[in-house]
Amino acid sequence: MSVSLWCEEVEDDRGQGQNDAPAQGHIRGSSQLRAAWDPTVSEHRVIQRLLHVEERYMPSMLYITLIQRDPERREELTKWALEVCCECGCDEAVFPLSVSLMDRFLSASLSIPVSPYCLAASCILIASKLTECDNVTADTLCAAAEYSFQSSNLREMERVILATLRWDTAAVTPQDFLPHFLASVEQRGEEDGGESEEGRLSTLRRHSDTLAAMCACDSRFLGAPPSLVAAASLNCALRGLGNKGPYQLALMSEALAELCQSDLAVLQCYSEMIEYTLRQRLRSGLQQGPMEKDEEVENERAGTPTDMREIDF
């Protein structure tokens, strides 16, 4: 009897568009291989375990309070980290994990190192090693920072971060909840008679990843649990697609609130915050870019873009 060990790995083409950027010698061009989604790992017990663990990786309230007083420096670092992750074609899990590592390190030390960009680059390096087979190299990150620090400085900062966090680096992020929430939404859509298409779910995931990345850059969402950010991002993505009626959207919002163990009013409040932040980002990008379609955008309801680069973070 023949036994097959084929694990249905597929090439991920989501980073192809990012690799079309001008070659600078430090952009990765190799495609990633990813195993197919396994529905057996998307049960309610998995979500419960993630909800139980996520509290351990929340930054301290003192750090959150200090950041709220002066959020510009953190937003500058997170935007730079997002730009580097996009240019390097990193997996979507690298950026939120790197931001989580940076927040936890600053929460533990309550002091910004001499080179903040070296800190952000070290967090990207650690996150890439955890989530990718072909991780970002130290030379790539030094080049992205225009060699404001050396590779030896990056390695030393990496050791400091790992020692401060006691090697507990596999933090829970909103991207960890999204596939499980999407699987639940798919089941709810089938119960309500809706279509369950792979393209629609892929679009929902892409939009939700975009909104969750936007929340990671915005300090106003710093104190929100990752599960709540993931549920609110998915809720906004469902609204933005506009292919569900009010009754179906209400049922899905209730299901998401139950999954993240939050009150429905809290979920709706964070969803409105995300939509408001999205409108601000889009308007800011339009004011800095071409102004041909100002009238159309003012009259158009805020939706969810399909690419993080469409939002001016």
Residue-wise pLDDT tens digits, 74-129: 999 999 999 999 998 888 899 999 999 999 999 998 777 778 899 999 999 999 99
Identity of residue 117: Y
Q: Exposure of 99 by Cβ count < 10 A (0-12 exposed, 13-18 middle, 19+ buried)?
A: buried
Share of the chain above pLDDT 70, in %: 73
Q: Which one is predicted more confidently, 122 or 304?
A: 122
Is pLDDT above 60 for 178?
yes
The residue segments making up the domain with residue 79 are 59-165
Q: State whether 141 and 197 are in the same domain.
A: no
Is residue 38, in this structure, part of any structural domain at all? Answer: no
Task: Determine contact, residues 88/136, Cβ cutoff 8 Å.
Answer: yes
Task: Determine contact, residues 131/94, Cβ cutoff 8 Å.
Answer: yes
Q: State whether 73 and 131 are in the same domain.
A: yes
Is residue 208, in this structure, part of any structural domain at all? Answer: yes
Is residue 126, in this structure, part of any structural domain at all? Answer: yes
101, two tokens: 């590592």
Predicted local distance difference test score (pLDDT) of residue 197:
62
Q: Which one is predicted more confidently, 312 or 39?
A: 39
Find the range with the poorest average confidence among 27-36, 62-71, 296-305.
296-305
Share of the chain above pLDDT 90, in %: 41
Q: State whether 225 and 195 are in the same domain.
A: yes
Is residue 74, in this structure, part of any structural domain at all? Answer: yes
Find, among 86, 92, 96, 144, the residue nearest to 118 by Cα: 144
Predicted local distance difference test score (pLDDT) of residue 46:
85
Strand partners of residue 9: 35
Q: State whether 89 and 184 are in the same domain.
A: no
Is pLDDT above 50 for 217?
yes
Q: State whether 109 and 210 are in the same domain.
A: no
Per-residue pLDDT band for 306 (boundaries 50, 70, 90) equals very low
Q: State whether 93 and 120 are in the same domain.
A: yes
| Non-local CB neighbours of 195 within 8 Å, separated by 6+ positions | 189
Per-residue pLDDT band for 169 (boundaries 50, 70, 90) equals very high
| Average pLDDT over every residue of 279-290 | 71
Predicted local distance difference test score (pLDDT) of residue 125:
94
| Average pLDDT over every residue of 301-309 | 46
pLDDT averaged over every residue in the chain: 79
Please name the residue ranges forming H helices in 89-225. Answer: 94-109, 116-131, 138-144, 151-164, 174-191, 198-217
d(CA 214, CA 174): 12
d(CA 64, CA 73): 13
Decide which of 165, 191, 211 is a domain's last residue. 165
Q: State whether 89 and 132 are in the same domain.
A: yes
Q: State whether 160 and 178 are in the same domain.
A: no
Q: State whether 104 and 150 are in the same domain.
A: yes
Is residue 232, in this structure, part of any structural domain at all? Answer: yes
d(CA 259, CA 24): 44
Is residue 63, in this structure, part of any structural domain at all? Answer: yes
Is pLDDT above 50 for 14?
no
Task: Determine contact, residues 285/312, Cβ cutoff 8 Å.
Answer: yes
Give the DSSP H or E segment for 35: strand 32-35
| Average pLDDT over every residue of 169-179 | 92
Predicted local distance difference test score (pLDDT) of residue 286:
64
Predicted local distance difference test score (pLDDT) of residue 200:
76
Q: State whether 205 and 281 are in the same domain.
A: yes
Is residue 49, in this structure, part of any structural domain at all? Answer: no
Predicted local distance difference test score (pLDDT) of residue 249:
85
Q: What residue has token string 């309550």?
A: 110
Is residue 298, in this structure, part of any structural domain at all? Answer: no
Q: What is the domain count for the chain? A: 2
What CATH number should be reported for the domain holding residue 103? 1.10.472.10
Predicted local distance difference test score (pLDDT) of residue 297:
37
11: three-class secondary structure by DSSP: strand
Q: Which one is predicted more confidently, 46 or 292?
A: 46
Predicted local distance difference test score (pLDDT) of residue 157:
93
| Average pLDDT over every residue of 150-170 | 93
Strand partners of residue 35: 9
CA distance to 31, 51, 104, 124, 154, per residue, from 90 (Å): 10, 26, 21, 10, 18
Q: State whether 180 and 256 are in the same domain.
A: yes
Q: Which one is predicted more confidently, 15 or 206?
A: 206
Exposure string of 55-92, with b = 16+ CB inside 10 Å and e = fewer, is eebbbeeebeeebeeeeeebeebbebbbebbbbbbbbb
Q: At what angle do helices 226-241 and 264-288 cross, to 10 degrees?
A: 70
| Average pLDDT over every residue of 163-183 | 91
| Average pLDDT over every residue of 220-229 | 92
Q: State whether 160 and 192 are in the same domain.
A: no
Predicted local distance difference test score (pLDDT) of residue 127:
94
Q: Which one is predicted more confidently, 284 or 30?
A: 284
The region that residue 266 occupies, defined by phi over 0 for left and psi between -120 and 50 for alpha, beta otherwise, is alpha
d(CA 308, CA 214): 8
